[in-house]
Chain A
Amino acid sequence: MNTPSALARTPLYDWHCANGGRMIDFAGWSMPVQYGSIMDEHNTTRSAVGITDISHMGRLRFEGPGAAVFLAELLTRRVADMALGQVRYSLVTNEAGGILDDVLVGYYHNSYGQPYYVLVVNASNRLKIVKWIQDHLSEERANKPGEEILFTDVTSLWAMFAIQGPMSVELLQPLVDEDLAMMKYYRGAQAQILHPRAQRQGGIVSRTGYTGEDGFELSVGATVATAVWEALLEQGKSLGVLPTGLGCRDTLRLEAGMPLYGHELSESINPIEAGLTFACHLVGYDFPGRDALLAIKDKPLSRVRIGLESTGRRVAREGAAILLNDQKIGEVTSGTFSPTLQRPIAMGYIGAEHAEVGREVLLDIRGRKESARIVELPFYSRQKKGK
């Protein structure tokens, strides 16, 4: 498809175009939705390993003695108690408790032993969050003696890859000097990239992902991104690695019951109804929206996020009405055909009083009603090794 030149490009743009990437506009970035079949790319991630260019994700860096407290006063999750190498899922909320973004915050040391935090934000929200941070980071605060804060948007300097699937340790280990098998889930480290063309550069590797599979996310300098990407594909041939696009990233995260900003999350949805209470620490530092969330938490919920499985083959997509006894009780926020379950799945919001697992509902799919059932999230959980 033709892509307007105004779209932002990741360091791998030329590689995607030269290797069959079907480029689409995703949040203002020209990104590959798929290279071949979404179903193949999905199944490869579940059974072997896939690598996805996620360099469109915003990366915001915070340094200085005041960084920890500043982030603690910005995010719904505790930050000040994070151990070195720890990663946490968190939200950024507005004063009303509405969700501005969902983010990962990681705490690392650079090669000189200086601590820093990296906030990974959604591409679609990056400029909004940068402005939100700037609005909360006065010059006076940033330069307060002994509590200085240095904030930098480093998105364009770093490429980021998702390396996801049961063979991800085997694929990535030869390229980094960290012992990946020992790395726990939601931990990470600044690592040395072990590749002749990586020019002795460092990167960040973390055991995180958005697929419901074991895997890692790797940040490397933009200038060596293509070399590292090609090395992963070359070394991973025997493992059956595939480059995977944003199409299967969506089907994988949906099966894993993970919300996507702009669908399950928005400024008019609060974390409690989104099922993300675990990501809100309401008794520590005061952050925008904390008081609102304390009030919301003690009231009955008006709506909740649910999972739906259909018995037919037609897929309920965003905006499809959820009906009970001919009354609309909610709306689908995203839906797809699940390659793993081989049936349509969807997430949506319905009135909390109706949210009973096992309940049969109807979905209005383009004017025709299809039956579906409320199910527990996630739709898919991987078998954990040795547990």
Chain B
Amino acid sequence: MTPEKLLYSKTHEWVHVETDAAGAKVATVGLSTFALKALTDLVFLDLPEVGTDVTAGSPFGEIESVKAVSDLNSPVDGQIVEVNTAVVDDLEGLADDPYGAGWLVKIKIADESGLAHLMDHAAYQKQCECEG
């Protein structure tokens, strides 16, 4: 994934939308480099099971660092169709390649209008500058 071409949530999840073979929109979701740099020292990642329904703005999992635990929030309404179980056991891989091998879940989008609430890369950069 190219970070510049992704959409972003206010809570630092990135989103890449594709159309699957059946014509449904599927969002691949991960965590931004900014978020991972702020967390540092990851110790635990909890991801949902395939089939779980998720709601935009609500937690679908959690990520724990030495310092604190943070929710992973779903950027869209929909259902989990794929989970990156490999990254759960390789948190260094997540930190090293958050836009590639470090993707977290794929969500079959229930309502595409929700995507309008997400930011493009430029808007997200601005948010990060304010937080940084």
Contacts and interface: CB of A to CB of B under 8 A. Distances in A.
Interface of A: 1, 33-34, 36-39, 42, 247, 251, 313-315, 317, 336-337, 339, 366
A34 B40 contact: yes
B120 interface: no
Given A247-B66, A314-B64, A315-B64, 15 more contacts: A36-B40, A37-B41, A38-B41, A38-B67, A39-B40, A39-B66, A313-B44, A313-B64, A314-B44, A314-B69, A315-B43, A336-B66, A337-B64, A337-B66, A366-B62
B131 A337 contact: no
Nearest to A41: B41
A1 B67 CA distance: 15
Nearest to A313: B44
Of B40, B41, B46, B68, most buried by chain A (CB within 10 Å of CB) is B41
A315 B44 contact: yes
Contacts of B41: 37-39, 337
Contacts of A34: 40
Nearest to A312: B44
Interface string B4-40: 0000000000000000000000000000000000001
Interface of B: 40-41, 43-44, 46, 62, 64-69, 131-132
Nearest to A42: B66
Contacts, number: 41
Contacts of B68: 317
B127 to A, nearest CB: 13
Given A38-B66, A251-B66, A317-B69, A337 B43 contact: yes
Nearest to A343: B43
Given A38-B40, A315-B43, A337-B43, A33 B67 contact: yes
Contacts of A313: 43-44, 64
Nearest to B95: A37
A312 B13 CA distance: 26
A4 to B, nearest CB: 15
A37 B41 CA distance: 6
29 contacts: A1-B131, A1-B132, A33-B67, A34-B40, A36-B40, A37-B40, A38-B40, A38-B41, A38-B66, A38-B67, A39-B40, A39-B41, A39-B66, A247-B66, A247-B67, A313-B43, A313-B64, A314-B44, A314-B46, A315-B43, A315-B64, A315-B69, A317-B68, A317-B69, A336-B66, A337-B43, A337-B44, A337-B65, A366-B69
Nearest to B62: A366
A320 to B, nearest CB: 11
A39 B65 CA distance: 10
Nearest to B59: A366
| List of 5 A-B pairs having minimum Cβ-Cβ separation, nearest first | A313-B44, A337-B43, A39-B41, A38-B66, A38-B41
A37 to B, nearest CB: 5
A336 B44 CA distance: 12
Nearest to B46: A314
Nearest to A247: B67
Contacts of B62: 366
B56 to A, nearest CB: 21
A1 B64 CA distance: 20
Contacts of A36: 40
A32 to B, nearest CB: 13
A343 to B, nearest CB: 9
Contacts of A39: 40-41, 66
Contacts of B46: 314
A42 B40 CA distance: 13
